[in-house]
A and B are shown apart, each in its own frame.
Chain A
Amino acid sequence: MMDQLYQEIILDHYKHPHGRGLRSPFGGEAHHVNPTCGDEITIRVTTDLSDISYDGMGCSISQASASVLHDQLTGLDPAAAFRVHEAFVELMQGRGQVEPDEDVLGDAVAFAGVARYPARVKCALLPWMAFKDAAVRAGVGVSPEVTA
Chain B
Amino acid sequence: MKVPLKWLKEYVDINLPPAEIARRLTMAGTEVSLQSLGGESWRGVVIGEIVAVEVHPNADRLRLVTVNLGVEEQTVVCGAPNLTAGDKIAFASVGTELIDGYSGKKAILKPAKIRGVTSCGMVCSEKELGISDSHEGIMVLPPEAPPGKPLADFLAEIVLDLEVTPNRPDLLSVIGVAREVAALTNQPLTLPEVEYEEPGSPIEEQVSVTIVDPDLCPRYCASLINGIKIGESPEWLKQRLLACGMRPINNIVDATNYVMLEYGQPLHGFDFDRIKGGKISVRRATKDEAIVTLDDAERKLDSNTLVIADSERVVAIAGVMGGANSEVSERTTSILLESANFNPASIHYTSHGLRLVSEASIRFERSIRPELTEPALKRATQLIIELAGGEAAKGIIDVYPGKKEQKKIRLRAGEVERLLGVKFSTEQIKDTLISLGFKAEKTTGEAEFIITSPYWRSDISIEADLVEEVARVIGYDAIPMTMLSSSLPQQDPEPMLDFKKEVKQVLAGYGFQEIIGYSLTSREVLEKALACTPLEPPPIRLSNTMTVDQEYLRTSLRGNLLTALATNLRHEEGAIRLFELGRIYLPRNNDLPEEPEYLCGIMSSEIEKAWPNQPQYLDFFSVKGVVESLLAKPGVSAGFKESNDSGMYPGRQAAVVVDKDELGVVGELNPKVAEAFDISQPVYLFEIDLSKLLPHTIGYKLYKPIARFPAVMRDIALVVDAKVTHRQVLEIIKGFPLVEKITLFDVYTGKQVPAGKKSLAYRISFQSKEHTLTDKEVDKVQQQILDKLADKLGAVLRA
Q: Do A and B bind each other?
A: no
- Residues of A whose CB lies within 8 Å of any CB of B are none
- Residues of B whose CB lies within 8 Å of any CB of A are none
